[in-house]
Structure 1
Amino acid sequence: MKAARSAWPIEGYVLLYFLAYLPNIVVTALLTRLPNPALGRPLTGLETLPASLIINMILTYLFIWWSGWHRDAHGVMILGRRIPMPTRYTLLSGFGTALIIFTVPLSFTFEGVSIPFIQLLMRGDVLIIAPLIDLMFRRRVRWWSWMALAMVAAAMLITLRSRGGLALPPLALVAVILYTFGYFVRLSVMTWVGKTGNPADVRRYFVEEKVLALPISIAVLGTLSAIGFGNQSGQLYYGFVGVWSDPVILWLGFIAVTLTIVSILSVIILLDPRENAFCVPMERACSLVAGVAAAGLLAWGWNMPAPTGTELFACGVLVAAIVLLSVAPRLYARRKAASVQPTA
Structure 2
Amino acid sequence: MSEGRTTVRLPSGEHAIWAYAAGYFLAYVPYGLVTKALSEGRLPGAPERVAGLALLPISTAVSAIGMLVFLGASGLWKLAPSVRVAGITIPVPRRATLLSGVCTAAIVLTTTLAYTFEGTSIVAMMLMMRGGVLVIAPIVDLVSRRRVRWYSWIGLGLSALALGDALLGALDARIAPPALLDVAVYLGAYFVRLRLMSRLAKSEPDASHRYFVEEQLVATPIALAVIVAVALLDRGAVGATLAHGLVDLPRSGALGWVVLIGLCSQATGIFGALVLLDARENTFSVPVNRASSILAGVLATALLAWLLGGATPDRGELIGAALVVLAIVVLALGPRIDQRRAAST
- What is the aligned partner in structure 2 of residue 180 from structure 1? 187
- What is the aligned partner in structure 2 of residue 318 from structure 1? 324
2: CA distance between counterparts of 1:271 and 1:216?
A: 21
3-state DSSP of counterpart to 2:162? helix
1: CA distance between counterparts of 2:171 and 2:110?
A: 23
**Counterparts of 1:189-338 in structure 2 under 5 Å?**
189-198=196-205, 200-338=206-344
1: CA distance between counterparts of 2:35 and 2:275?
A: 24
Change beyond 3 A, Cα 1:5–1:301: closer
Equivalent pair of 1:98/1:214 in contact (CA under 8 Å): yes
- What is the aligned partner in structure 1 of residue 7 from structure 2? none
3-state DSSP of counterpart to 1:42? coil
* CA deviation string 1:47-80 (max 9, x = no partner): 1111010011011011111111111111111221
Change beyond 3 A, Cα 1:8–1:109: same
Equivalent pair of 2:28/2:264 in contact (CA under 8 Å): yes
- Specify the code of the residue in structure 2 equivalent to 1:214: T
TM-aligned CA deviation for residue 262 of structure 1: 1.5
- Specify the code of the residue in structure 2 equivalent to 1:338: S
2:78 equivalent among 44, 49, 71:
71
- What is the aligned partner in structure 2 of residue 19 from structure 1? 26
3-state DSSP of counterpart to 2:327? helix
- Structure 2 gap ranges (5+): 1-10
3-state DSSP of counterpart to 1:168? coil
1: CA distance between counterparts of 2:14 and 2:148?
A: 24
The percentage of counterpart residues that share the same residue type is 39
1: CA distance between counterparts of 2:235 and 2:241?
A: 10
3-state DSSP of counterpart to 1:111? coil
TM-aligned CA deviation for residue 288 of structure 1: 0.8
Q: CA RMSD in A?
A: 1.9
TM-aligned CA deviation for residue 197 of structure 1: 2.9
- What is the aligned partner in structure 2 of residue 342 from structure 1? none
TM-aligned CA deviation for residue 40 of structure 1: 6.2
Equivalent pair of 2:46/2:254 in contact (CA under 8 Å): no
Give the alignment's TM-score, normalised by structure 1: 0.92
Of 316-325 and 150-159, more deviation after overlay is shown by: 150-159
- Specify the code of the residue in structure 2 equivalent to 1:154: L
3-state DSSP of counterpart to 1:82? strand
2:149 equivalent among 132, 138, 142:
142
**Counterparts of 1:38-187 in structure 2 under 5 Å?**
41-161=48-168, 164-165=171-172, 167-187=174-194
Of 284-293 and 245-254, more deviation after overlay is shown by: 245-254
3-state DSSP of counterpart to 1:102? helix
2: CA distance between counterparts of 1:11 and 1:37?
A: 34
1: CA distance between counterparts of 2:312 and 2:334?
A: 33
3-state DSSP of counterpart to 1:195? coil
Change beyond 3 A, Cα 1:40–1:15: closer
2: CA distance between counterparts of 1:111 and 1:162?
A: 14
3-state DSSP of counterpart to 2:83? strand
* CA deviation string 1:269-299 (max 9, x = no partner): 1111000000000001110111111111111
TM-aligned CA deviation for residue 39 of structure 1: 8.3
Equivalent pair of 1:32/1:109 in contact (CA under 8 Å): yes
TM-aligned CA deviation for residue 168 of structure 1: 2.3
TM-aligned CA deviation for residue 264 of structure 1: 1.4
- Structure 1 gap ranges (5+): 340-344
3-state DSSP of counterpart to 2:84? strand
Equivalent pair of 1:36/1:42 in contact (CA under 8 Å): no
2: CA distance between counterparts of 1:234 and 1:206?
A: 34
1: CA distance between counterparts of 2:235 and 2:202?
A: 40
Aligned length: 335
Give the alignment's TM-score, normalised by structure 2: 0.92
* CA deviation string 1:136-186 (max 9, x = no partner): 010001111111111121121244336755752122112101100110111
2: CA distance between counterparts of 1:294 and 1:64?
A: 28
3-state DSSP of counterpart to 1:189? helix
TM-aligned CA deviation for residue 221 of structure 1: 1.6
Change beyond 3 A, Cα 1:182–1:244: same
1: CA distance between counterparts of 2:171 and 2:215?
A: 38
Equivalent pair of 2:124/2:165 in contact (CA under 8 Å): no
